A and B are shown apart, each in its own frame.
Chain A
Amino acid sequence: MSKKTIHIPLGSQHISLLEPVRFKFECENEKIVGVDSDVGFVHRGIERACTTKFKFDAIGYVVARVCGLCAITHSLSYTVAIEKLLGGEISKKAKYLRILLLELDRIHSHMLCLSHTCENAGFEAMFMRIMGDRELVMEIQELLTGNRIQFDYISIGGVNRDLDVQTAKKIIENLALVKAKVFSYIDEFTNNWSLSLKFKGIGALTLEDAYRFNAIGPLARACGLPIDVRNEIEYLPFDEVGFKMQTHNDGDINARNMVRLNEILNSLEMCENILRGLPEGEIFTKLKGKPKGEALMRFEAPRGELMYYVKGDGSAMLNRVRIKTPTFACIPAFSHIFMGEEYADAPAILASFDPCLSCTAK
């Protein structure tokens, strides 16, 4: 047994990664003793382009291209910040439709994360099953907005498409199907023996460390830290549609999966409540003027808190757009979790964080 350490790189191009990120693991036999991460491969310069290239009314569609998975949260945060500066009030129906799409996006993003975690743990069949069922949600999104991934649904002053009766009926049908599937996943994730070997007790984060490393989103909620921006904001009526905080106490991969599954159930319930109690009214209010002043906006993306800072001086071009993304805030916690784990578990742990590097690098 020598004390010599080996350096093993993971990425920037790797079969288990959707996006380029490079981790350099320092391994002692099989144990990881040091981690070095590099996340800047996909930096495109969107913040800079928002202040030089695009006018303020187009940026809502540009910032959606920061990330394909939480596109809706990005454009929503920006739009609400601008609406705050312009000083208009949007209709209640538009607010409800925004929440509907936000929650649909959360469902499909969590399902993708769960399936990807299973794939990286070597359970290909579960990956196929969840991906197949995820199409039910994608179908709804296509019906509602016209596109599967990049919706461009939210505009300054409301939303771009109305919900008709047939679409609402179809959505309720599909959501009921998804709900039954999610219960079967919960059964599988809690009782399957081979999944428990890969997930239970692996990649654990304690509550103190979650505080210390400033973890947010499902990563923090899996440690028992009840933080969720949906609980703290007022400009969208999350409490009216039945939001409930989901937490777990273990902090390992299994806990993160369970938090995600419970959040899917909660989101399904919220979507149903929205569709059954959708208020009447216009979907679009025209807002006039140019943004002047500063605004700060927070929203809960599928991965945690997303923050937008917008500053304008009364002209069509903004002075500053600052985006703080959830994965960026979680990187210290990621690096801490890898310490002392087996190298073979690294891809599964990485997938269970649900990292979004195109958000992080912008």
Chain B
Amino acid sequence: MFRKYRKKSPWILHYNAGSCNGCDIEILAALAPKYDLERFGVINTGNPKQSDIFLVTGPVTFRSRERLVELYTQMPEPKVVIALGSCTCTGGVFRDMYNVEDGIDRYIPVDVYVPGCAASPELLIDGVVKALEILEEKTKAIEKPFRLFKEASSENGIINRRHSALKVGEKDEED
């Protein structure tokens, strides 16, 4: 049941990691009647524990990086991260300033990059729709059963599992 409704109504957590407000007000504009992101069931929440999509704006400043990582770790799996705006993707105009960490992908993995200064609501909607696809894939990947061990090898009649454990990300040959 959760799988069905997660796709139908993804909740967004928005965090400003030092942006100029431009992208933040475009998020508000996207939620407002003209662009109406809420028709996809999207709602802006303040609680990381109920959110599916993490929307970050701004190059990461020195003081906001701890909170950024903390918010990311508090969100339950599956989760998607959208980097909104040029400065979030690469640092943009703020690159190499002394208090800026040049983009969020130094700290957390990013799934969708949305460029633009400021990113327009149309691009934001495209990004969220793309994020929904990724969210669905991630949900499937989580729910798929996987094996911890390969076929047990037996030497001299003794079953030995020592060398048959699968490493992280390694595919089972029978798959």
A interface residues, Cβ below 8 angstroms from B: 12-16, 18-20, 40-46, 48-49, 53, 61-62, 65-69, 71, 112, 116, 127-128, 131-132, 134-135, 138, 147-150, 356, 358
Are B94 and A44 in contact, with the CB atoms below 8 A? yes
Q: CB within 8 A of A14: which of B46, B63, B117?
A: B46
Annotate B20-50 by CB proximity to A: 1 below 8 A, 0 otherwise: 1111111011011110000000001111000
Task: Tell me, in angstroms, the Cα distance from A61 to B100 when the chains sit together.
Answer: 18
Q: Give the residue name and chain of the B residue nearest to A147 (CB).
A: B118
Are A67 and B20 in contact, with the CB atoms below 8 A? yes
Report if B113 contacts A (CB, 8 A).
no
- For residue A143, give the distance in angstroms from its CB to the closest CB of chain B: 14
- Can you name 18 A-B residue pairings with CB atoms under 8 Å? A13-B67, A15-B45, A19-B24, A20-B18, A42-B19, A43-B63, A44-B61, A48-B97, A65-B94, A68-B21, A69-B25, A128-B33, A132-B32, A132-B34, A148-B120, A150-B22, A150-B118, A358-B18
Are B67 and A68 in contact, with the CB atoms below 8 A? no
With contacts A13-B15, A42-B64, A45-B100 known, is A68 near B28, CB below 8 A?
no
Are B26 and A148 in contact, with the CB atoms below 8 A? yes
Report if B75 contacts A (CB, 8 A).
no
Q: Give the residue name and chain of the A residue nearest to B120 (CB).
A: A148
Inter-chain contacts of B100 with A (CB < 8 A)? 44-45
Are B28 and A18 in contact, with the CB atoms below 8 A? yes
With contacts A149-B118, A358-B18 known, is A46 near B25, CB below 8 A?
no
Annotate B71-108 by CB proximity to A: 1 below 8 A, 0 otherwise: 10000000000000001000001101111100000000
Annotate B55-66 by CB proximity to A: 1 below 8 A, 0 otherwise: 000110111100
Q: CB within 8 A of A356: which of B21, B32, B64, B67?
A: B21
Report if B16 contacts A (CB, 8 A).
yes
- For residue A228, give the distance in angstroms from its CB to the closest CB of chain B: 23
Inter-chain contacts of A65 with B (CB < 8 A)? 20, 22, 87, 93-94, 117
Are A18 and B21 in contact, with the CB atoms below 8 A? yes
- For residue A31, give the distance in angstroms from its CB to the closest CB of chain B: 24
Are A43 and B61 in contact, with the CB atoms below 8 A? yes
Task: Tell me, in angstroms, the Cα distance from A41 to B20 when the chains sit together.
Answer: 12
Are A42 and B61 in contact, with the CB atoms below 8 A? yes
Q: CB within 8 A of B22: which of A16, A68, A134?
A: A68
Task: Tell me, in angstroms, the Cα distance from A318 to B111 when the chains sit together.
Answer: 40
B interface residues, Cβ below 8 angstroms from A: 15-26, 28-29, 31-34, 44-47, 58-59, 61-64, 67, 71, 87, 93-94, 96-100, 117-118, 120
Closest 5 CB pairs of A and B: A68-B22, A15-B46, A131-B32, A132-B33, A68-B21
Are B29 and A71 in contact, with the CB atoms below 8 A? no
Task: Tell me, in angstroms, the Cα distance from A112 to B23 when the chains sit together.
Answer: 14
Q: CB within 8 A of A112: which of B16, B25, B33?
A: B25
How many A-B residue pairs have C-beta atoms within 8 angstroms? Tell me.
Answer: 127
Task: Tell me, in angstroms, the Cα distance from A149 to B121 when the chains sit together.
Answer: 11
- For residue A131, give the distance in angstroms from its CB to the closest CB of chain B: 3
Inter-chain contacts of A62 with B (CB < 8 A)? 93
- For residue B76, give the distance in angstroms from its CB to the closest CB of chain A: 17
Task: Tell me, in angstroms, the Cα distance from A91 to B26 when the chains sit together.
Answer: 33
Are A44 and B97 in contact, with the CB atoms below 8 A? yes
- For residue B43, give the distance in angstroms from its CB to the closest CB of chain A: 10
A-B contacts besides A15-B45, A68-B20, A127-B32, 19 pairs, CB < 8 Å: A13-B46, A14-B46, A15-B46, A16-B46, A18-B21, A18-B28, A19-B21, A41-B61, A44-B99, A49-B97, A116-B28, A128-B33, A131-B29, A131-B33, A134-B29, A135-B33, A149-B26, A150-B22, A356-B21
Task: Tell me, in angstroms, the Cα distance from A203 to B159 when the chains sit together.
Answer: 76
Task: Tell me, in angstroms, the Cα distance from A68 to B27 when the chains sit together.
Answer: 13
- For residue A59, give the distance in angstroms from its CB to the closest CB of chain B: 11
Q: Give the residue name and chain of the A residue nearest to B68 (CB).
A: A13
Inter-chain contacts of B28 with A (CB < 8 A)? 18, 112, 116, 131
Inter-chain contacts of B118 with A (CB < 8 A)? 68, 147-150
Inter-chain contacts of B26 with A (CB < 8 A)? 148-149
